[in-house]
Amino acid sequence: MLTILDQLPDGLLHCEAQNLHRTLPGPTLLHLPGQRPQPLFVSVLLHGNETTGLTAIQGLLRKYDGHKLPRTLSIFFGNISAATQGKRHLDGQPDYNRIWPVADDNSAGDLPEQRMMRQVVDEMRTRNVFASIDIHNNTGLNPHYGCINRLEPRFFHLATLFSRTVVYFSHPTGVQSLAFAGLCPAITVECGKPDQPFGADHARDFVDTCLHLDILPDTPVDAHAMNLFHTVATVTLRNEASAGFAADDQPGDWDITFPPDLDRLNFRELPAGTSIGRVSTDHGPLPLQVTDETGIDVSDQYLHVDDGRLRITHAVMPSMFTLDLDIIRQDCVGYLMERL
């Protein structure tokens, strides 16, 4: 399932994401030599509709066309078939950022895609990977920020090279950055919406900066150099619940009616009592479910219904709240964070 290449395929540098299947046969790991042998690993298109990573890598490689890279670079091009249709993943496919191997977990599945991700990790372990960058977009209003899975200086140094805003999380598992955190400093970078050129420029410059690093220091990072948050819970739509978006003066025939600007709550510290939507009934199970880092349902700790409104029970900061109903059903409404 995995193609491994050691030279740049013709046409890759100018190919649109939806046409990438004409250049690469499927998920592909590309190794390119550089002046420093320890490779930087970059993954793009783990979600086929998140194209900023591909654009960033293309811009970077065009810059170095005809010149040797400052450091060896390994690039994983993920869900190329989903990119062809502009989808996160195709029907019947797993989410490519939920199937990476989890340390000390012997219950990992044996889907072809899971075996492929283990192969990628094993390959990069053998090559003594220097650092890992997973480039993503999101569908709501969010600042550019970096996500890490370990509270360690080298991870902090890597993250602050991208943004002052840093999010620590340990759930969901099966994500790329968590798989690589056992090998090297690893980060997921969130670069805004895929149609914003600044996102690709920012990601390209960040990867370029990392290619020039000699080391990632193990010394403490100045506390003023970053705003650090901890993802404490995931908000999902219950399977049986219906949802839609409408303003307060418009009817909503769903179990929960979100405001049309729900994503404006992202990265704002919300006081207790903030409404995140209207509900069709004050009784019965909540239309949303909140689970903590261990997967335990903690909905009653974070949400309550008051006068037809679903409200935050205590102060939190959302991230990645989205206006895309497909994303809400495939993945989640968003996450809840607390400041560290």
Instruction: Examine the domain organization and report whether 145 and 200 are in the same domain.
Output: yes
Q: Span 264-272, mean pLDDT?
A: 96
Which residue range is the domain that position 322 belongs to?
232-339
CA angle 200, 74, 219 (to 5 degrees): 80
Q: Is the pLDDT assigned to residue 108 strictly greater than 80?
A: no
Q: Report the distance separating Cα 142 and Cα 162, nearest Å.
A: 15
pTM (two decimals)? 0.93
User: Tokens 């060896």 map to which residue?
Assistant: 72
Longest dimension (CA), the chain: 66
Instruction: Examine the domain organization and report whether 216 and 169 are in the same domain.
Output: yes
Containing 124, the helix (H) or strand (E) segment is helix 112-126
- Count of structural domains within the chain: 2
Instruction: Examine the domain organization and report whether 284 and 187 are in the same domain.
Output: no
List C-alpha distances in Å: 114 to 75, 210, 250: 18, 28, 45
pLDDT digits (tens, 9 = 90+) for 1-38: 999 999 999 999 999 999 999 999 999 999 999 999 99
Q: Report the distance separating Cα 293 and Cα 85, nearest Å.
A: 32
List C-alpha distances in Å: 325 to 44, 46, 83, 133: 23, 20, 19, 28
Instruction: Examine the domain organization and report whether 221 and 254 are in the same domain.
Output: no
Instruction: Examine the domain organization and report whether 257 and 212 are in the same domain.
Output: no
Instruction: Examine the domain organization and report whether 141 and 199 are in the same domain.
Output: yes
Instruction: Examine the domain organization and report whether 216 and 323 are in the same domain.
Output: no
Q: Report the distance separating Cα 150 and Cα 184, nearest Å.
A: 11
Buried b (16+ CB within 10 A) or exposed e, 159-180: bbbbbebbbbbebbbbbbbbbb
Tell me the two tokens of residue 296.
């335990």
Q: Span 255-274, mean pLDDT?
A: 96
Domain closes at, from 225, 254, 274: 225
Q: Span 37-43, mean pLDDT?
A: 98
Provide the pLDDT for residue 285: 86
Q: Is the pLDDT assigned to residue 76 strictly greater than 80?
A: yes
Cβ atoms of residues 255 and 200 within 8 Å: no
Provide the pLDDT for residue 239: 86
Instruction: Examine the domain organization and report whether 55 and 195 are in the same domain.
Output: yes
Provide the pLDDT for residue 282: 67
**Phi, psi values for residue 301, rounded to 5°:** -80, -25
pLDDT digits (tens, 9 = 90+) for 282-329: 677 899 999 999 999 999 999 999 989 999 999 999 999 999 999 999
Q: Report the distance separating Cα 20 and Cα 84, nearest Å.
A: 7
Instruction: Examine the domain organization and report whether 15 and 103 are in the same domain.
Output: yes
In one-letter notation, the amino acid at residue 75 is: I
User: Tokens 């970078």 map to which residue?
Assistant: 189
pLDDT band at 252 (very low <50, low <70, confident <90, very high): confident
User: Tokens 């990628």 map to which residue?
Assistant: 120
Domain closes at, from 178, 200, 225: 225
Q: Is the pLDDT assigned to residue 106 strictly greater than 80?
A: no
For residue 36, the domain's CATH number is 3.40.630.10
Buried b (16+ CB within 10 A) or exposed e, 239-250: eebebebbeeee
Instruction: Examine the domain organization and report whether 208 and 244 are in the same domain.
Output: no
Instruction: Examine the domain organization and report whether 119 and 135 are in the same domain.
Output: yes
Q: Are strands 243-245 and 256-258 parallel, antiparallel or unpaired?
A: parallel
Domain closes at, from 172, 202, 225: 225
Instruction: Examine the domain organization and report whether 277 and 257 are in the same domain.
Output: yes
